[in-house]
């Protein structure tokens, strides 16, 4: 980090001032009270805000002003940083106002805490400093008021060690031990809880073993029941199948009975019809005989002669009509043949693929079909011409025969008129013939009916025990189903008990597993407590001693170096004891820090400060404040000879930016740059 510029508005003795800081060594020169230290406090405020007990708002805001601000310009690892913080006066106090931070031109507003967190991130300081009132790293590496450094030298040894532990960030070892003690106490509490929670483990195991034994017994019984259930189920299925066969047979038996009833009824009806027809035929025979005798007296030969002629003509007409019908039928067939051949010839012309087999139809195949169909067509047309001629001849002959038939019928009609007069003799004869025909049909049907009746009676008699067997099987089925249900209920009862037992076993398993885990965890905790007590605490103490020893060696080496540079007195020997307290030996005698001269006190305090700076920077190599150091009145009480040694100090520091606050004019010749301050009328200014 390099400080480039700072702007102050209403800060202590400053109204509105802008101060630029070059790299190298810079001296803030001026009389006591001219406002030099105010610049350092403003830098501290811009970086970390107000610090309780160290830097208050009342100490910074100019008296009589309501508002003030500090704007700090930095270069951090190549980034241009601007930090601005404000102050506001209320009735009772002065508080921090919100501010902002600009990183390479990107502005980000934030509260006081948010700005501090961002600054700590940029400086690569530990994040735990955000909640601490003091930033010890900054205090002991960049800026420490000289009087505060002298104060650390006269502190109680234990207090000084605590401060150094915090500065070196090794107070964590003490915190670790304290936290470890708390953890051990908590672990012991958890061990006691574990003992309580893991108690009864063996009893749970015994209970589980007993339940598992019962499960095995119940499983064996359940398996036996399942076997019996399967046997019963197979029997039930078998009987059900048999019952289905019986039901089919019973259904067919009932159908045969119904058929037999219908056959018997039919026989009964036909017997009655037979008796009725026989009576009617006998009665008609008597009447016909009586009518024929009467008709003979008129003309016995006429009717037979006419009827014979009519029958002959009718027979001849029928024969010719049959021929004519055959001719018409044949003509129709030939016409169909002609139509089919013509359609096939037309279809084959445009046919490329067979619609049945999807194969290609060749030209040769088309010609072959066309030739066959053309021959059929010609033959059919010739036959139609021949049959047309035959049809005309037959129609003429039929017409002539029908004329003769009509003439005979007229004669017969005249005869029938006369015949009606003989009490409808012919009607009675026809009626008698019909009755005889019907009687013949009835007599013919009797044989088939009686045969069917005999077959049905045989089938019914053959299956007369089906219903009895069906009832017996149904009764057996009901008994088996009742036993099956009893077994099912028993099985469900066992399964419910097994379910409850298994749930209990599962619960016990969970409890046993949990208790085993608790027991194992308790044993691990016991081992952990033993390890923490016997090894970890001792290890942290050794680590702390080792770190402190290394730090002490580095610190003491640097401290002796800076003391030798600042104090040229062979009779004065200064080094650090184990508690980082300066041990001062003069002329072979130990003397206390308070008995030294003012210049020697300041020199030892400055040597302590510079040693601390270098040790911390070496220890925390990644922090971004290694390139700057601020020395506030580091030469208070120095003699001229000691002032000359400041030049050697500046050369040895090898830091990019060293800011020195001093009123000693001689130092101006040691530094690269000088900023002069003066104060007039309670207002400080930088002389340009």
Look at the block and give the residue holding tokens 């066959």.
372
Residue 597 resides in a domain:
no
**265 near 449, Cβ under 8 Å?**
no
Whole-angstrom distance, CA of residue 536 vs CA of residue 355: 98
| Nearby residues of 329 by Cβ (< 8 Å), 6 or more positions away | none
Cβ–Cβ < 8 Å for 477, 239: yes
- The answer to whether the beta carbons of residues 41 and 633 sit under 8 Å apart is no
Beta strand segments in 561-656, E: 572-576, 582-586, 589-591, 628-632
User: Virtual CA dihedral for 486, 492, 493, 497, nearest 10 degrees?
Assistant: 160
337-366 burial: b if 16+ Cβ within 10 Å, else e: bbeebeebbeebeeeeeeeeeeeeeeeeee
**CB atoms near residue 299 (< 10 Å):** 12
Residues 210-246: tens digit of each pLDDT: 888 878 887 888 788 888 878 877 887 887 777 777 6
Please give the pLDDT value at position 311.
85
Split into its structural domains, the chain has a count of 2
Q: What is the largest CA-CA distance in the chain?
A: 204
Cite the DSSP H helix spans in 297-362. Answer: 300-349
Residue 97 Cα distances to 50, 84, 94, 108, 436, angstroms: 11, 10, 9, 15, 139
Share of the chain above pLDDT 90, in %: 16
In 414-547, DSSP assigns E strands to none
Burial class (CB in 10 A: 0-12, 13-18, 19+), 148: middle
The burial class, CB within 10 Å (0-12 / 13-18 / 19+), for 240 is middle
Domain range for 19: 1-142+625-688
Identify the band that residue 81 occupies on the pLDDT scale cut at 50, 70 and 90.
very high
Q: How confident is the model at residue 671 (pLDDT cuts 50, 70, 90)?
A: very high
pLDDT in tens, 118-151: 998 999 887 765 555 556 778 878 888 767 777 7
Q: Is residue 121 one of the residues assigned to a domain?
A: yes
- Joined tokens for residue 493: 């009862």
Residue at which a domain ends, from 421, 455, 490: 421
pLDDT at 248 over 90: no
More confident position, 398 or 284 = 398
Q: pLDDT per residue over 544-576, tens digit each?
A: 788 888 888 988 998 899 988 888 777 888 898
Question: Can you say how many angstroms the Cα of residue 115 is from the centroid of all Cα atoms in its chain?
Answer: 42
d(CA 561, CA 549): 18
Which parts of 137-211 are beta strand (E)?
A: 143-145
Q: Are 401 and 316 in contact (CB under 8 A)?
A: yes
- Which two three-digit tokens encode residue 555? 């610190």
Locate all alpha helices (DSSP H) within 350-424, ordered by sequence.
Answer: 363-420
Residue 534 lies in a domain: no
Among the candidates 421, 441, 456, a domain finishes at 421
Asked whether residue 3 is domain-assigned, the answer is yes
Is 354's pLDDT higher than 70?
no
**What is the model's pLDDT at position 285?**
77
pLDDT score, position 135: 67
Residue scoring higher pLDDT (27 or 484): 27
CATH number (domain holding residue 37) = 3.40.50.300
Residues of the chain with pLDDT > 70, as a percent, come to: 91
Mean pLDDT of 530-544: 84
With H, G, I as helix, E, B as strand and everything else as coil, classify residue 106: strand
Residue 44 resides in a domain = yes
684 within 8 A of 34, measured Cβ to Cβ: yes
> Closest by alpha carbon to 636, among 657, 612, 606?
606
Smallest CA-to-CA distance from 558 within 510, 512, 507, 617 is with 617
Contact 87, 95 (CB under 8 A): yes
pLDDT 10s digits, 625-659: 899 999 988 888 888 888 888 888 888 888 999 99
Q: Pick from 256, 268, 265: which is nearest to 457 by CA? A: 256
Q: Tell me whether residue 447 is in a domain.
A: no
CATH number of the domain that residue 392 is part of: 1.10.287.510
Residue 367: other Cβ atoms inside 10 A: 11
The two tokens of residue 537 are 């605490």
Final residue belonging to a domain, choices 386, 421, 456: 421
> Do 29 and 662 form a contact (C-beta atoms < 8 A)?
yes
Residue 235 lies in a domain: no
pLDDT value, residue 46: 94
End-to-end Cα spacing for the chain: 25
Residue 616 in this model has a pLDDT that exceeds 70: yes
d(CA 167, CA 146): 17
- Beta-bridged to residue 14, according to DSSP, are 11
Q: What's the CA gap between 450 and 456, in Å, rounded?
A: 10
Query: In angstroms, what CA-CA distances link 57 with 9, 61, 112, 251, 389?
Result: 14, 6, 13, 114, 145
Let me know: does 607 contact 566? Beta carbons within 8 Å: yes
Q: CA 387 to CA 394: how far, in whole Å?
A: 10
Structure tokens at 536: 């970890």
Q: Answer whether residue 203 is part of any domain.
A: no
| CA-CA-CA-CA dihedral for 136, 137, 141, 143, to nearest 10 | -50
């Amino acid at each position: 980090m390099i400080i480039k510029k700072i702007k102050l508005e209403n800060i202590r003795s400053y109204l509105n001032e802008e101060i630029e800081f070059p790299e190298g060594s810079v001296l803030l020169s001026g009389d006591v009270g001219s406002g030099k230290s105010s610049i350092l406090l403003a830098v501290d405020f811009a970086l970390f805000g107000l610090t309780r007990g160290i830097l208050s708002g009342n100490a910074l805001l100019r008296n009589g002003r309501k508002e003030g601000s500090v704007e700090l310009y930095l270069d951090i690892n190549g980034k241009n940083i601007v930090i601005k913080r404000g102050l506001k006066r209320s009735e009772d106090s002065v508080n921090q106002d919100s501010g902002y931070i600009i990183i390479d031109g990107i502005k980000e507003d934030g509260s006081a805490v948010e700005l501090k967190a961002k600054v700590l991130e940029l400086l690569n300081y530990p994040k735990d400093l955000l909640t601490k009132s003091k930033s010890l790293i900054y205090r002991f590496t960049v800026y420490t008021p000289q009087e505060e450094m002298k104060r650390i030298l006269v502190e109680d040894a234990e207090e000084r060690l605590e401060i150094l532990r915090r500065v070196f960030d090794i107070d964590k070892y003490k915190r670790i031990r304290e936290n470890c003690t708390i953890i051990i106490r908590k672990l012991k509490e958890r061990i006691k809880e574990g003992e309580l929670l893991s108690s009864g483990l063996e009893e749970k195991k015994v209970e589980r073993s007993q339940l598992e034994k019962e499960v095995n017994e119940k499983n064996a019984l359940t398996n036996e029941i399942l076997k019996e259930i399967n046997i019963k189920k197979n029997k039930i299925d078998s009987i059900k199948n048999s019952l289905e066969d019986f039901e089919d047979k019973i259904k067919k038996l009932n159908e045969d009975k119904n058929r037999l009833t219908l056959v018997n009824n039919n026989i009964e009806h036909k017997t009655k019809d037979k008796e009725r027809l026989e009576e009617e035929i006998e009665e008609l025979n008597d009447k016909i005989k009586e009518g024929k005798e009467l008709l003979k007296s008129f003309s016995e030969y006429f009717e037979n002669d006419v009827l014979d002629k009519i029958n002959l003509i009718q027979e001849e007409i029928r024969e010719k009509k049959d021929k004519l019908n055959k001719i018409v039928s044949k003509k129709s067939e030939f016409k169909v043949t002609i139509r089919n051949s013509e359609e096939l010839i037309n279809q084959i012309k445009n046919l490329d693929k067979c619609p049945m087999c999807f194969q290609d139809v060749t030209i040769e195949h088309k010609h072959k079909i066309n030739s066959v169909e053309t021959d059929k067509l010609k033959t059919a047309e010739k036959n139609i011409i021949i049959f047309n001629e035959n049809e005309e001849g037959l129609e003429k002959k039929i017409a002539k025969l029908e004329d003769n038939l009509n003439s005979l019928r007229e004669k017969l009609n005249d005869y029938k008129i006369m015949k009606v007069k003989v009490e409808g003799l012919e009607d009675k004869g026809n009626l008698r013939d019909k009755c005889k025909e019907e009687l013949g049909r009835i007599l013919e049907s009797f044989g088939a009916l009686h045969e069917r009746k005999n077959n049905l009676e045989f089938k019914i008699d053959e299956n007369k025990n089906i219903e009895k067997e069906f009832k017996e099987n149904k009764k057996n089925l009901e008994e088996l189903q009742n036993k099956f249900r009893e077994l099912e209920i028993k099985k469900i009862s066992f399964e419910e008990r097994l379910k409850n037992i298994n749930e209990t076993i599962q619960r016990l398993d969970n409890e046993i597993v949990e208790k085993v885990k608790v027991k194992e965890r308790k044993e691990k905790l016991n081992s952990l407590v033993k390890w923490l007590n016997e090894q970890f605490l001792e290890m942290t103490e050794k680590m702390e001693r080792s770190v402190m020893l290394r730090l002490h060696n580095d610190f003491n080496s640097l401290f002796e170096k800076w003391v030798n540079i600042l104090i040229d007195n062979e009779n004065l020997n200064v080094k650090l004891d184990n508690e980082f307290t300066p041990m001062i030996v003069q002329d072979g005698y130990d003397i206390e820090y308070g008995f030294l001269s003012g210049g020697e006190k300041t020199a030892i305090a400055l040597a302590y400060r510079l040693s601390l700076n270098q040790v911390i920077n070496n220890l925390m190599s990644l922090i971004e404040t290694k390139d700057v150091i601020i020395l506030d009145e580091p030469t208070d009480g120095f003699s001229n000879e000691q002032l000359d040694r400041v030049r050697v100090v500046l050369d040895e520091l090898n830091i990019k930016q060293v800011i020195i606050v001093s009123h000693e004019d001689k130092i101006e010749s040691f530094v690269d740059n000088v900023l002069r301050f003066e104060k007039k009328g309670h207002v400080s200014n930088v002389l340009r």
